[in-house]
Structure formats: C-alpha cells, structure tokens
Amino acid sequence: QRCPTDKAYFIAKEILATERTYLKDLEVITVWFRSAVIKENAMPEGLMTLLFSNIDPIYEFHRGFLKEIEQRLSLW
C-alpha cells in the first residue's frame, strides 16, 4: 500500500481538482447558459440542438468519471 506522501497520490489529487473544476465549467454551459438561452428565447431551436447535443454526453461522462476518481482516492 502506498503512503499518502507518495508523488503519485499528489498527482491523482491534482487530477481530481482539475476534474472538479472542469465539471463545474461544463455545468455552467449545460445548465445555466442553456437555461438563460431558453428563457430569453435567444436562439433558434435547431441551433440550440446543434450546440448542446454534443455537450450533454461529455457532461454525463465527466460526472461519472469524477465519482470514480473520488472513490479511488478515498481508498488510497
């Protein structure tokens, strides 16, 4: 078993912090920005579909990825 002072542990913690930040940024786009665009009727529906159709799967993937990183680090 590795000691928490191990260099790999600190690298993993940095990856975790980066992933949390990235997920928050994706949430701003997928939740808050989209809600504002819908509320203001700021763009045509076709453009919204085109814009957000690729972001949702990325957001969902990273939600699961973050949970997995958190679980693995808690067992380190």
Q: Is 18 within 8 Å of 69 (Cβ atoms)?
A: no
Cα(32)–Cα(8) distance, integer angstroms: 35
User: Digits of tens for pLDDT over the chain (76 positions)?
Assistant: 556 668 888 999 999 999 999 999 999 998 899 899 999 999 999 998 888 888 989 999 999 999 999 999 999 8
Burial 46-59 (b: 16+ CB within 10 A, else e): eeeeeeeeeeeeeb
Domain boundaries, position 18? 2-73
What tokens appear for 18 in the block? 């980066």
Tally of domains in the chain: 1
Instruction: Look up the pTM and report it.
Output: 0.78
